[in-house]
Amino acid sequence: MLVQCRSYRLLDSGGASRLESFGDLVVRRPCPSALWQPGLPASRWDSADLVLRPEADGAWEGARANQLGEQWYMASEAGFSLGLWPGQNGQVGAFPEQGTNWRWLRSACEASPRRIRVLNLFGYTGGSSLACLASRNADVTHLDGARAAVSRARSNAELSGLSGEPVDDALTYVRRAARRGERYDGIVLDPPAFGRGGWPVAALDGQLREITRGASAVMHSGPVRQCASLTRILLNKLLL
């Protein structure tokens, strides 16, 4: 059964948690960076439909926990849909706070006088890739090292009725692309805060520095657009 969530709202945050609504589904999950006090009363937080309990090995509880076998999906204003899969790590399969970026990506692709090529590094479940594809004016190369993320990106493309097969490839793709002389008009670079095993991505053998250099090597020589989402710590390390 498909359950559509037509809107997203951040209802409150604080106490290392966030309270969100995906349509009529209210979700409470961890947010370690929210170190302030919540603004809404505890009763509002306690009434969430889904609550992740880290102390219970990442179990989801709440009035609608029995519906986790159903497929929820979120309809983005950028013209595509993303499936929602609540996981034990607190992720739900989408980062709805990227909505503004998704709309910008689609409009940037639509504004091009010719069909363009976009490279999406760390593509996760495909939000930015699908935003570009929704313009009907872009070919997208979607990269992510996690097979589960790539599989969900494919599912999201099918759910959205968009063509364009996500690519499951290693991070060395940019080096191979440079050797082949490939060029892209736009690059999306949004690395995760942590890599496999919980290690900070920026500390993994200087990969991010190499990737950003490789990305520069495959940028088209004409006018280009680049969308980057980096934490300050990652950005400082890359610029050193």
Give pLDDT tens digits for 69-126: 667 888 888 888 888 888 888 888 888 888 889 999 999 999 999 999 998 888 888 8
Residues in the chain: 240
Confidence (pTM): 0.80
More confident residue, 130 or 5: 130
CA distance 39 to 203: 35
Hey, what domains does the chain have and what are their CATH numbers? 2-75 (2.60.40.1180), 97-239 (3.40.50.150)
Identify the pLDDT of residue 8.
87
Q: Give the up-direction half-sphere exposure of residue 52: CA atoms within 13 A in the CB hemisphere.
A: 21
Give pLDDT tens digits for 157-196: 888 888 665 665 546 788 888 888 888 998 888 877 655 4
Average pLDDT, the chain: 79
Identify the pLDDT of residue 175.
82
CA distance 142 to 196: 19
Give pLDDT tens digits for 96-112: 888 889 999 999 999 99
The answer to whether 105 and 126 have CB atoms below 8 angstroms apart is: no
Number of DSSP helices (H) and strands (E) in the chain, helices first: 7, 12
DSSP string, 34-87: --S--SS-HHHHHT-SEEEEGGGTTEEESTTGGGTTSEEEEE-TTS-EEEE---
> How far lies 175's CA from each of 180, 185, 210, in Å?
9, 17, 9
CA distance 199 to 177: 27
Q: Give the up-direction half-sphere exposure of residue 175: CA atoms within 13 A in the CB hemisphere.
A: 8
Element (H, E) at 147: helix 147-160
Q: Give the up-direction half-sphere exposure of residue 140: CA atoms within 13 A in the CB hemisphere.
A: 33
Judged by DSSP in three states, 105 sits in helix
Region of residue 182 (phi > 0: left; psi between -120 and 50: alpha; otherwise: beta):
beta
Other CB atoms within 10 A of residue 34 CB? 16
At residue 226 the predicted structure's pLDDT band, cuts being 50, 70 and 90, is low
Judged by DSSP in three states, 99 sits in helix
